[in-house]
Amino acid sequence: MSTTVASVAKAGFPRSFYVANGMEIFERLAWYGFFTVSSLYMTTPVDQGGVGFSESQRGALQGIIPFFLYILPVITGALADRYGFKKMFLLSFAIMAPSYYLLGQASSFGGFFLAFFAVALGAACFKPVVQGTISLTTNESNRGLGFGIFYTMVNVGGFLGPFVAGYVRAISWDAVFLMSALWICINFFPAAFLYRDPRDEEHTQQQADKSLKEVLQEAQQVLGNARFAMMIFPCIIFLMCAGADWLSYPVSFIGIVAWLLLNVVWNRAVNGGAESSWWQQKIHVSNVPFAIYLGILSGFWAVYNQLFYTLPLYLRDYIDTRDVLVFISLFGQQAVDFFAIVNVEALAEKLQSLAVADVQDSLAALRLELVHLKVMVPEAEIATALESIRQGGSAQSIAEQWKQSYRQINPEYIVNIGFAMIIFGQIAVSYVCQKFKAINVIIAGVVIFILGLLVALLSGSVALGGSAIVIAVVMMSFGEMVTVPKSQEYVANIAPKNQAALYMGYYFVSMALGFLFAGLLSGWGYGTVAKEWGQPELMWSIFAAIGLLTSAGLWWFNRRYVRVAA
């Protein structure tokens, strides 16, 4: 991307800064309205309105699709420089609006995959342009504050989206996707009539004069040549195939090792220079410190996304949140009914069907089936209730009793506490953090997030499990608001002014890898470690260990590369 029309005033921001932040709110309303409940929707049985995917299918979708969402901005950021920011905004909304609607209509794995991919494509057109706008409408004196404001707007949408989704999903899951499509449609107005491209005319014209081939070559050269990409992407494809159960993990790892060894031999056999055909060139990494930084940061995104991928499921299946409901009840019965909605008719119907069918599933399996209806009932009471119904008892009265005694808070509302914290605390945290070196702040934020994971680990073994999870979410969110804006600011600081959107596009590479690893980790960690092995504490320990390795890697990077990179 190019230089601004004029230098940004030290004390303020131009109109495009505020318009971009406004559009970010509505885009996040759409995304988090779906994303925060995506794990719940994908694993909810078909007869209860979900799509009934397995944990491995869910993990694969949540890893593969967001990977493309965050890797495509490498290309879409360059295309925005070539064709203009406003056009890219409008294109993104034209893709996302119908795709969100179709996502709610898909019932098969393939159909859901395609609709989800279309959503990701539209979001990939949006992301580098909005962040490029923020980068170009701020300067060195206010960039930290500018990205702090931007991240606050991200979380305004992130906070309101799940509240709306949590309310309307009690009516119908289809309403969740209709609302996401509506939020995107609203963005057409500011994009078309209020937004102005922040680049100056001279550099905008220079970018417009470039051919598409030149734009893509420029995008490629930020990290490395085509040989470098050809070495990395097949390894990622092998991981995706393993996550989707198309290949076993041992076979995938053998394939990765074989491909890397082949590239070593290939590299020794060629001697071509930069002007040679891509396959005759040696592997070249253009910006080694930047590539290493993105690789290490992907570890943070892998553990951060467990807040959305794994925590809602863990809350639904293992954590009794009635202690939090006791606090909410201080605000009246209406507050309890809002935060812990139970469809008594659906619950009674389910109990009747289980009693009539005389199912042979274990009581533990029945408990995990009933949590989809937002009640967590002791196994002994499930057995007593089913026998009572078989003897002529009323399923409706049992359902009413369970609603009063065992109702649970919607998991998305507890996750939402993090968004609220960031809305009210992000600007203050960014103001304090701008006094310190970006890389040091990032390390501190990752460590805080790890502590939140450890609290989540303990939540299943303490009496006040719901309260412990609330504390865990608060700590994770504080770590997030320390880490994320500074990680973006670091990239903005090292990016050449005429390539701001391109570098911000490459920032998303770390998120792409992190989302991929997060989805695969969640599918395996929750499906195998937590549920099959019955060791959710081990699952959280694995996530925390990855976070610890990430913070150690960032500390090493600080000592080895920070003087070169910043």
Q: Look up the CATH number of the domain holding residue 134.
A: 1.20.1250.20
Residue 265 has a pLDDT of 93
pLDDT of residue 414: 94
297 and 275 together in one domain? no
Instruction: Measure the CA–CA gap between 397 and 401, rounded to whole angstroms.
Output: 6
pLDDT score of 6: 42
Task: Report yes or no on 414 lying in a domain.
Answer: no
Give the residue among 164, 176, 151 at the shortest CA–CA distance from 50: 176
pLDDT value at residue 207? 57
Give the Å distances, CA to CA, from 57 to 113, 309, 319, 339, 520. 10, 13, 24, 29, 9
Residue 412 lies in a domain: no
Kindly report the number of other CB atoms within 10 A of residue 274's CB atom.
9
- 219 in the same domain as 148: yes
Global pTM value: 0.84
Mean pLDDT per block of 10 residues along the chain (566 residues) reads 43 86 96 92 89 91 91 83 89 97 93 95 93 85 81 86 87 92 96 87 59 63 75 88 84 94 91 78 81 90 94 95 95 92 91 81 87 92 91 93 94 91 83 84 93 93 92 94 84 69 73 92 93 93 96 88 56
Please give the tally of structural domains in the chain.
Answer: 3
What is the structure's pLDDT at 128? 86
> Which residues span the domain enclosing 236?
226-284
The answer for residues whose C-beta is within 8 angstroms of residue 158's C-beta and 6 or more apart is 28, 32, 36, 416, 419, 422
Assess whether 42 and 94 both reside in one domain: yes
217 occurs within a structural domain: yes
Torsion sign across C-alpha atoms 510, 516, 522, 525: negative
Choose one of 284, 309, 325: the last residue of a domain. 284
pLDDT at position 70 is 84
Please check whether residue 175 lies inside any domain of the structure. Answer: yes
Note whether 201 and 81 are same-domain residues: yes
Interatomic CA distance for residues 346 and 352, integer angstroms? 10
Question: Does residue 429 sit in the same domain as residue 442?
Answer: yes
427 and 479 housed in the same domain: yes
Q: Are residues 24 and 46 in the same domain?
A: yes
Query: Are 302 and 277 found together in one domain?
Result: no
Residues 402 and 500 in one domain: no
